[in-house]
Amino acid sequence: MGKRRIVSPTVTRKDRLPPGQHWIQYPIVYDIVERVPDVDIKKYRFKVWGEVENPLELTYEEVLRLPSVEVVADFHCVTRWSVREILWEGVPTQEIIKLAKPKEDAKYVFVYCLEGYTTNLPYEFFAKEDSLLAYKMFGEPIPKEHGYPLRLVVPQLYAWKSAKYVWGIEFRKEDRPGYWEERGYHMVGDPWKEQRFWGD
Ligand SMILES: Nc1nc2c(c(=O)[nH]1)N[C@H]1C(S)=C(S)[C@@H](COP(=O)(O)O)O[C@H]1N2
Ligand SMILES: [Mo]
């Protein structure tokens, strides 16, 4: 039996290409560091904490055993390129929500990455049906430069919110700016509203 496949609303919506964007063939690799450190996968732990009833701490093997989906989604970078129909596979964020049980007042999500990158987003976008923690891209283990071992993919926001090398998810009452958000980028980042910079 095939895995459940979700076609993201980013693919099916009528105004598919967000304003100010153009199509390219493949995502350009962007990193805030020159060399991303190698991960010792035996020591890797994926953690969820903050405004939740059930904090999580999982090994990579345990992450791979969680219920999973395939998501086909477009990918929109704030530098104005967009890529059609990337195939991701991993754990739907809705599954993380089921396990960790965020409380009523968990309105924001803050994401921690192995090399020090962080980003923030509203809970509402984290919880979308096409958001996932991906460990495969086009059917193969996600390449290191695209986020191995685990990548938060949030197709309905600009790509800087799709954090690579994720190790931690914190549910929060209050918003807090991540790496690019501290440097002027938008706290939400909805491409169809052209929320590029804070104030847009
Ligand atoms: N951990 C981490 N995640 C990150 C980044 C980063 O520097 N570090 N860059 C972001 C930006 S600005 C973009 S456009 C996308 C690019 O994804 P790609 O490198 O897979 O093409 O990753 C996002 N996720
Ligand atoms: Mo970006």
Please state the length of the chain.
200
pLDDT digit string, tens, across residues 41-67:
999 999 999 999 999 999 999 999 999
Cβ–ligand 1 distance for 41 under 6 Å, the answer: no
Alpha-carbon gap, residue 151 to 39, rounded angstroms: 14
Contacts for 195 with CB less than 8 Å, ≥ 6 apart: 158, 186, 188, 189
In this predicted structure, the answer to whether residue 199 has a pLDDT above a threshold of 80 is: yes
Cis amide bond preceding 149, omega within 30: yes
Cβ–ligand 1 distance for 164 under 6 Å, the answer: yes
CA–centroid distance, residue 103 to ligand 2 (Å): 31
Residues 136 and 142 sit within 8 Å (Cβ to Cβ): yes
Q: Could you tell me the two tokens for 57? A: 């701490």
Closest-CA residue, ligand 1 atom 4, reads 163
Q: Which CATH number fits domain 5-26+38-193: 3.40.50.300, 1.10.1130.10, 3.30.420.10, 3.90.420.10?
A: 3.90.420.10
Tell me the residues surrounding ligand 2 (ion) with CB < 5 Å: 30, 77, 160
User: For 159, which DSSP code?
Assistant: G
What confidence category does residue 89 fall into, taking pLDDT thresholds of 50, 70 and 90?
very high
Closest-CA residue, ligand 1 atom 18, reads 29
Q: Could you tell me the two tokens for 69? A: 């989906």
pLDDT digit string, tens, across residues 91-150:
999 999 999 999 999 999 999 999 999 999 999 999 999 999 999 999 999 999 999 999
CA–centroid distance, residue 159 to ligand 1 (Å): 7
What confidence category does residue 177 fall into, taking pLDDT thresholds of 50, 70 and 90?
very high
Q: How far apart are the first and last CA of the chain?
A: 45
Cβ–ligand 1 distance for 113 under 6 Å, the answer: yes
In this predicted structure, the answer to whether residue 1 has a pLDDT above a threshold of 70 is: no
Closest-CA residue, ligand 1 atom 17, reads 29
Per-residue model confidence (pLDDT) at position 37? 86
Closest-CA residue, ligand 1 atom 19, reads 29
Per-residue model confidence (pLDDT) at position 91? 98
Maximum CA extent, the chain: 47
Alpha-carbon gap, residue 87 to 39, rounded angstroms: 24
In this predicted structure, the answer to whether residue 22 has a pLDDT above a threshold of 90 is: yes
Residues 153 and 131 sit within 8 Å (Cβ to Cβ): yes
| Ligand at shortest distance from the CA of 29 | 1
At 125, which amino acid appears?
F
pLDDT, mean over the chain? 97
